[in-house]
Amino acid sequence: MISLRCVVPLAPLLWLAACSSPAIPEVTYFRLPAPAAVARMATPLSSLPIEVDTFRADGVYAEQAVLYATTPDAGALRAYHYQMWSDPPARGLQERLTDRLRDAGVAPLVTDRLPSSVQALRIQGRILHYERVQNAAKVSALVEFEMRIEQDSGEPLLERRYRAEAVATGPDMAAMARAFGTAVDTTFSTFVADLVAMQEGKS
C-alpha cells in the first residue's frame, strides 16, 4: 500500500508544473479588406452569364493557414500554426472575383454556380503563389494566379498568369492581410482589362 505521505507532497509540484506551462496562443482569423469601389460599365461586355469557379489550390495552398516563405524567392514555404484565413483562399478568391465582376456589370448575371447545361462564359483560376515574403527589410504579400476563360466547348478563350506583390505597411498580420488585398485586386484589375480586350476584339 502506498503511503499518503508519499502522495500528498506531489500535489503542489504538479500544480506548479501546470502553472509554468506556456499558454497556447489563440487562433486568429484574417480576411481580406473590403475592395475599393469599381466603375460600372455602361453596357455589359457579354450577353452570356459568367460563372466563376472555385479557384484550384494544390498542396499547401489548399490549406486555411496563412503561409510564409522561408527563402526570398519563395522556394520554401511554411504555415503559421495560429494565423488562419477566415475562408480557404480558393473560396475567398472566388467570392472576391465574383463580386468584382458583378459590381462592374460585365454581364447580366455573374455567379459562382450554374447548371452545366446553361451556355455561359466560365472562369477558372489556379493559385500559384499566395504567401508572405520577406526580402531584406521589406515584408510583402506575393500572389500569382493562372486564369482561364472558356465557353461550353472547353476551348480556352484566354489563359494567362497574373502576378503581383504588395509591400505591407507594418510587421503585424493585419497589415499583411491588407497587403494581400492590394495584391489580389491588382491581379484582378489586370484580368478584367484582359477580359474587356478579349470581348472588344470579338465585336
Whether the Cβ atoms of residue 69 and residue 75 lie closer than 8 Å to each other: yes
Domains of the chain, each with CATH number or no CATH: 25-202 (3.40.50.10610)
User: Locate cell 459590381: which residue?
Assistant: 103
What's the predicted TM-score (pTM) here? 0.86
- pLDDT value of position 25: 77
CA quadruple 138, 56, 85, 186: dihedral sign: positive
Angle at 52 between CA 48 and CA 55, to 5 degrees: 155
Please give the pLDDT value at position 155: 83
Q: What confidence score (pLDDT) does residue 201 get?
A: 73
Q: Give me the pLDDT at residue 11, please.
A: 54
- Residue from 135, 137, 139 nearest 167 by CA: 139
pLDDT in tens, the chain (203 residues): 444 444 445 555 444 455 555 677 789 999 999 999 999 999 999 999 999 999 999 999 999 999 999 887 777 899 999 999 999 999 999 999 999 999 999 999 999 999 989 999 999 999 999 999 988 778 999 999 999 999 877 789 999 999 999 999 998 999 999 999 999 999 999 999 999 998 877 65
Give the pLDDT of residue 24: 76
